[in-house]
Amino acid sequence: MKMRLFTLFVLLTLGGLRLAAQVAPGELPVEIPESYQDFWERYSKASAEDDEDDMDAAVRAEQQDAIEVLELFLDATARFENPTLTGEARSLAWSLDRVTRGERYIERVRFVLDLERRDRGARRIASFEFIKAIRESDAAIESGSTAAFEAVLKRLDEVAELYGAIGDYESMLQVFRQGAWVTQRRGLAFRWERAGWYEKAVKVGELLPYRDADLIDSRDALEALVAAGFDPSQPKSAAPSANEGEDVGTVGRPSARGTGSGDSSDGGGDTGVAGGRSLDAFADGSKEEVEELEPKVSKKGLDMASMPNFYPDGQFLVWPYTGVELEGPADFDSQRGAVTYKPFGQHWQLSRDGQSKFLIDTDRDGETDIEFTGTSTPTLLEVPGPEKGQSTPLLVCVPSDRDQVLGFGVNYAPTEQYARLRFQPAGYLEAKVRGEKLKLADLNMDGEWGAPREFFGDVTTEDDDELFVSWWEPDGVQVGKAKVADPLSPVMKIKGKWYRTTVDSTALTIATRQLDLLTGEVKLDYEIETLPTHLVAMEVGEKLGGAVFNLMPAKKNGKVELPVGTYKIVMGQVSTGRKTSTDLVRIYTGSSPTFEVKAGETTTLEMGAPFKLIFSHRQEGKERVVKADSFRVFGRFGEEYAKFFDEPLKPEISARKIGGVDLVEERPMRFPGIEDWQSSSDGERALHFPVDFRFDNPDRSDVEVKAFQEEHGLLGGPIESDWIP
């Protein structure tokens, strides 16, 4: 089970199925991964011969592989409208249902294909999050840590919300069953909580249009627990003593994707804790100190040093936004995907009264809690919270009819049909901690202060190849008068000493206790025109609680001290200029490997130039088209540079027939103009890339194309591709 889950996780996080370079009519637009080839060869042969008996025999022999191939097909529908793909998905679903004597899989296909394209993408993201949560469940069970259990159960609730937002009740059922299984593994003392998870599973399962075996199983388990006195509709205090009686309402471990099968293996393993390497490696004689965090508001934004996020205070052209059709309502913060802004746990709704008057309903009770007029100049808004005295400070603005991008004015001003509201946090928390003033900012805008959040897909960068677009966004903390804010982390350095840091977003407190950690150093060998303000690495060795650190040294060519551990690059940003003249390029994980920091040693990372460019091209009529929006740029370490603003790439293109006959020689692409933007179906996405490059290929010859750019304003160069067929 664990190996299957890991395989599926890798396939999904690396972009799902590998996409075929060119697809002839009637061909499947994806390549089946090698791990599923045995099943697929047998099944597809039977399918080609229209032999249902042999198709079902292949599914019966490798049912788990069949389920995972079906799910990967459905993930691919978020990127393709292809009749061969949907036909294969339906055929495989029917075969699975014949084998399992149910309707689960064909209903799953119908549900996904009825979704809007964007919602299919949202389901794909939710699937990534669910698989990660299952892996975190294993880690929590192995460690036995109360904090780990609570964290994974919270994540499962969040995943259920992601599925719930698109009405995917089947997947919600599986998430809640996973929660029940995790609480079962916590022991008899958590039977009442387990019953609560089964209650949620039953409620969503009853919304399914078919009789689901997992619903029946969940209902039986809930009834057994209630009969034993563990009724989730009653207070826990009314339940029997924590460790009293025999256990009831138990099941084997649920499988990923709702396969209806699983195992009850423990996972086993002793994680152990090595001195000087973990969150429990406290310094001798150290004691925890707890300080209250005081909310602060700034009319000019966060009013902090350079921050580890993608939304500079002054450059409101790149702030996140909420779109409202007609009068609304619309869910607030609907564009970022996996993370939604929920101050005090509330998911706001945004409406309009006329073109520029906006209304916010914080608790979705149909009543307006605050109204305001949007202008093109960022203004401070304090949105009331659920309790007296609580508020969420925001800077808000609406686009004008002449926002300057690439030297020309773009018009996103409100109309009767649609309006955008840009927003950015304008509040932070402040405290005196260990003799230093700390300012904490909710930079990832999840409504809390603490853990980084993972994102998939930025709506701009093409993720249809072997590597899916992903990164993490941390919160921020400014220590003292530092010119650069650090990512907020469970391990922080204050006045030269390492501390374990715990922020309570509800009580608004910050607790610190000194650590005695083994450390090493990281040195960056960075070839780039403008050094990043931040390059954030996360410890992924599971001993430091996902601690995050900025690798950029305070002094040029300096080193950064880090605790010993295993790290990966999770985000960064290159920027220059001020306010609305700021140009920036994001840095993502890309294909970069993990790296080790060893005690007393220096780890050198070679990053930046020369940069590798990848892209795709295709035949359209008698022309070959280089798809500019497929451009992806990677540095020497595999780090990815993306979402170029306000200077896209502009390489020179060369093309030749396979065999060496030149068709195009070093012809430059061009930046988009206002006509290109107005005619583009991709909206502002087109502003991050050059215009597609076209050249004659009337005989439809097989060609290969190369792109080269000597220098980019922020990155430098060279930026070069291989010859790409």
Model confidence over 315-365: pLDDT tens digits?
888 888 998 999 989 999 877 776 788 898 889 999 999 888 999 999 999
More confident residue, 458 or 500: 500
pLDDT at position 246 is 63
Q: What is the C-alpha to C-alpha distance for residues 80 and 72, in angstroms, rounded to an integer?
A: 12
Instruction: Classify residue 705 as exposed, middle or buried by CB count within 10 Å of its CB (0-12, 13-18, 19+).
Output: buried
Q: Does 267 have pLDDT greater than 60?
A: no
- Residue 27's pLDDT band, with cuts at 50, 70 and 90, is low
CB of 575 closer than 8 Å to CB of 583 = yes
Q: Does 446 have pLDDT greater than 60?
A: yes
Q: Does 712 have pLDDT greater than 90?
A: yes
**Residues 429-442, mean pLDDT to the nearest whole number:** 93
CB of 503 closer than 8 Å to CB of 440 = yes
CA atoms within 13 A on the CB side of 72: 28
The top-scoring range by mean pLDDT among 46-60, 389-403, 710-724 is 710-724
Residue pLDDT, tens place only, 185-230: 888 888 889 999 999 999 998 998 877 778 888 888 898 888 888 8
Q: Does 275 have pLDDT greater than 50?
A: no
Q: Which two tokens stand for residue 183?
A: 């609480």
Q: Does 639 have pLDDT greater than 50?
A: yes
Percent of the chain with pLDDT over 70: 88
- Cα(first)–Cα(last) distance of the chain, in Å? 39
pLDDT at position 399 is 84
More confident residue, 121 or 156: 156
pLDDT at position 244 is 59
Residue pLDDT, tens place only, 536-573: 999 987 678 789 999 998 777 889 999 999 999 999 99
pLDDT at position 460 is 84
pLDDT at position 17 is 40
- Residue 252's pLDDT band, with cuts at 50, 70 and 90, is low
Q: Does 6 have pLDDT greater than 80?
A: no
pLDDT at position 83 is 81
Q: Which two tokens stand for residue 390?
A: 């609580």
Secondary-structure percent of the chain, ordered helix, strand, coil, rounded to 5: 30, 30, 40
Q: Is 459 left (phi over 0), alpha (psi -120 to 50) or beta?
A: left
pLDDT at position 99 is 87
More confident residue, 592 or 12: 592
Q: Which two tokens stand for residue 607?
A: 């990053």
Whether residue 452 has a cis bond before it, omega within 30° of 0: no
Listed residue (609, 600, 605) closest to 564, CA to CA: 600
More confident residue, 142 or 39: 39
Torsion of the alpha carbons at 428, 434, 435 and 438, rounded to the nearest 10: -10
Q: Which two tokens stand for residue 627?
A: 């798809």
pLDDT at position 560 is 94
Q: What is the C-alpha to C-alpha distance for residues 320 and 333, in angstroms, rounded to an integer?
A: 7
Contacts of 476 (CB under 8 A, 6+ apart): 302, 304, 307, 308, 309, 440, 441, 443, 485, 486, 487, 488
Q: What is the C-alpha to C-alpha distance for residues 224 and 217, in angstroms, rounded to an integer?
A: 11
Cα dist. 540→152, 565, 567, 690 in Å?
Answer: 16, 8, 6, 36
Contacts of 353 (CB under 8 A, 6+ apart): 327, 359, 371
Contacts of 220 (CB under 8 A, 6+ apart): 249
Percent of the chain with pLDDT over 90: 42
To which H or E segment does residue 676 belong? helix 674-679
Phi, psi of 62 (to 5 degrees): -135, 60
Q: Which two tokens stand for residue 525?
A: 């060998």
pLDDT at position 263 is 34
Q: What is the C-alpha to C-alpha distance for residues 638 and 630, in angstroms, rounded to an integer?
A: 17
pLDDT at position 251 is 60
Tell me the whole-structure pTM to 2 decimals. Answer: 0.68
Q: Which two tokens stand for residue 128?
A: 């990534």
Residue pLDDT, tens place only, 276-321: 788 888 888 899 999 999 999 877 766 566 788 888 877 888 888 9
More confident residue, 660 or 100: 100
- Residue 698's pLDDT band, with cuts at 50, 70 and 90, is very high
pLDDT at position 384 is 92
Q: Does 533 have pLDDT greater than 70?
A: yes
DSSP 712: B
pLDDT at position 210 is 77
Q: What is the C-alpha to C-alpha distance for residues 718 and 720, in angstroms, rounded to an integer?
A: 6
Phi, psi of 412 (to 5 degrees): -115, 25
Mean pLDDT score of the chain: 84
pLDDT at position 10 is 39
Q: Does 259 have pLDDT greater than 70?
A: no
pLDDT at position 258 is 46
Q: What is the C-alpha to C-alpha distance for residues 663 and 666, in angstroms, rounded to an integer?
A: 10
